[in-house]
Amino acid sequence: MLESDRSPVETAIVGSRDLVAIGAVAELRRRGAAIPDDLTVVGVDDDPVAAALGLTTLHYPYELSGRLAMRLLRSMLESPRDFVQAPAIELALKVPETWNWRR
């Protein structure tokens, strides 16, 4: 991706976890990429290490998600013929240093 003279089509990388995104930032910088000028990098799970390193991360409320999943499962078991709407979960994007809004 960074080895050609062409402009990359990609503008962002989203790691499935913050540690994956941290690894991506390290490798991209090793290859000469300027983060976030060349690429935006975002992780998921709001790890304290990510905050210390300035990684943009998506806070996912795992505990709340688990509680809601259990309520949903209980409703489905109690009334299997009823349609049960899964509740929406609000996420928070924490944007320190690895995000570029200009792209």
What local confidence, expressed as pLDDT, does residue 4 receive?
A: 58
The correct CATH number of 12-61+90-94 out of 3.40.50.300, 3.40.50.620, 3.60.110.10, 3.40.50.2300 is 3.40.50.2300
Structural domain boundaries in the chain? 12-61+90-94
Per-residue pLDDT of the chain (103 residues; tens, 9 = 90+): 555 566 657 889 999 999 999 999 999 999 999 999 999 999 999 999 988 889 999 999 999 999 999 999 998 899 888 877 878 898 888 887 777 766 5
CB atoms within 10 A of CB 1: 13
Evaluate the omega torsion of the peptide bond into residue 36 and state whether it is cis, within 30 degrees of 0. Answer: yes
Q: How far is CA 72 from the centre of its chain?
A: 24
**Full-model pTM:** 0.71
Bridge partner residues of 43 (DSSP): 57
Q: How far is CA 101 from the centre of its chain?
A: 16
